Chains A and B, each alone.
Chain A
């Protein structure tokens, strides 16, 4: 008589699965746990490098004395030596969180100021998150014999790159670029953080441009539609100290 072929049948409420299935189920369980571990290691270890942008908490609370420009977005104009640099430096500033400095900087536009807060750094780039005891105030002891140099006009250019918010790009978030970060960047820009343009290739040694409209005013909310995309933009480039400002008409934006 021929031996009857096994016909295993799994019933969930039975005490145990059929013996002939137990090995298979053990194998599947092991494969699942192993695959989960392997995929997690593969994905987690191959994340793109977000760069070295960071809050410089280690440097502690910093204070600077210089001038403030309120337009297009608030920035400090610092004399040589004030920031450890040998040339005058234009430094972006922001409030705490996703808040700009327009309210405090507006009345002080063009005046000597003291600014205190925590630095954000990305390579040579930096930004001051203003807050704490000094915050932003009229300078108690203005730097003698220092007046910020007028802007230098560098002509009309079409540049390719990505619009980011200046704070996350400078280290408030890592990564602070890309489409996954777009909502965060838009929230920052809505809150008054300066939008910046990070180009794919440098222009006159710079890949970092503060954005403004054609008249040097803050950009309209239309900019939010173009954030985090690879685009080209056309406009006038000017330089204030070491900071490039790209005065653009958003109608010139082209998605690439």
Chain B
């Protein structure tokens, strides 16, 4: 959390995260470029520039695959949440590597010609009506454009400027970029420049991304389709037995398909707040009460339970909801209160602290 804009708010976790990413990228590129050629069965080696382009290009593809797997993995197993914390740095590194790929391609395949290498990308193959033979380079250009926009707007300045909803929508473009890159690889490298291992690895990567997203989506669907009784006024929803809410944790109630409420318990006190973090729309209900504040599992943004405000000097605030206790059951008022509205927590004498 920050109250002012600085280029990067470094902390120990980010240093470790980036060190692991750089070690992974270094291992990939180092072994691809310098070790793997010793095991090749080729009459003569592939041109150095083309080989480097392959190394950078495949590295970008697998990094993007990994980036897209982090989200659903964290939904399916919370131990993966730390991978999500600094995912933006991973995205920026991926974008930089993509430029190395392009530089090697343009400096070799598109060079040595009277036609400008940048112009040539758009004019030398215009078979847009073909499947095989389609100018797959254009798909890569669009993907690079998206990656660049995402990298440039990855800083929290843009998140605050565009607001989380629009920023999030923009950054969902990573899926379009991935689809374009899959097509770019399938119509290009896999048609002639790839061995069986790469074809298998690309296929497995795409299958992994799709499978993890389907599994996570099934879990989300189960939450969204849970049935909760609503009273005669239509304003109060049965939120279950307060004992079912674990201490320092939350129970997530789905009011509509796109509105969820997190009911947190802090000892005997229960409070309801929006499930959506004001920072990046993270799932607050999967967070935990730390130092008396609800803490977002994604980036650690914190909110007070009783009014949904971040503790000073931070200024974020989220909607709160009213709760009431009737006959041992918890009832949630489904009308969201304006962000930052104070609501007295409900005290449930039936739940034991720390249970």
Q: Which residues of A contact B (CB under 8 A)?
A: 4, 7-17, 21, 24-25, 28-29, 32-34, 36-37, 39-54, 97-99, 173-175, 177-184, 186-188, 190-191, 224-225, 228-229, 255
Contact = CB atoms under 8 A, between A and B. Distances in A.
Interface of B: 1, 11-14, 20, 23-25, 27-33, 35-37, 39-47, 50-51, 54-55, 58-59, 62, 66, 79-83, 85-86, 108-110, 112-115, 120-121, 124-127, 130, 132-133, 135-137, 187-189, 191-198, 201, 246, 248-249, 287-288, 290, 295, 297, 299-300, 354
B193 to A, nearest CB: 4
Contact of A175 (B1, B13, B46, B198): B46
Contacts, number: 221
A8 B187 CA distance: 45
B297 A39 contact: no
Given A7-B288, A47-B195, A184 B110 contact: yes
A29 B83 CA distance: 10
A13 B300 contact: yes
A52 B44 contact: yes
Contacts of B110: 183-184, 187
B31 A41 contact: yes
Given A37-B27, A50-B42, A43 B201 contact: yes
Contacts of A34: 27
B192 A17 contact: no
A21 B46 CA distance: 44
A40 B29 contact: yes
A50 B197 CA distance: 17
A181 B249 CA distance: 56
A236 B111 CA distance: 34
Nearest to B47: A174
Given A12-B11, A21-B79, A36 B46 contact: no
A45 B32 CA distance: 8
A14 to B, nearest CB: 7
**Nearest 3 pairs of A and B residues by beta carbon:** A178-B192, A44-B36, A46-B195
A41 B39 contact: yes
Given A40-B27, A173-B47, A49 B41 contact: yes
A9 B137 contact: no
A228 B133 contact: yes
Contacts of A182: 125, 133
A174 B28 contact: no
B79 A39 contact: no
Contact of A179 (B23, B191, B246, B249): B191
B192 A40 contact: no
B125 A186 contact: yes
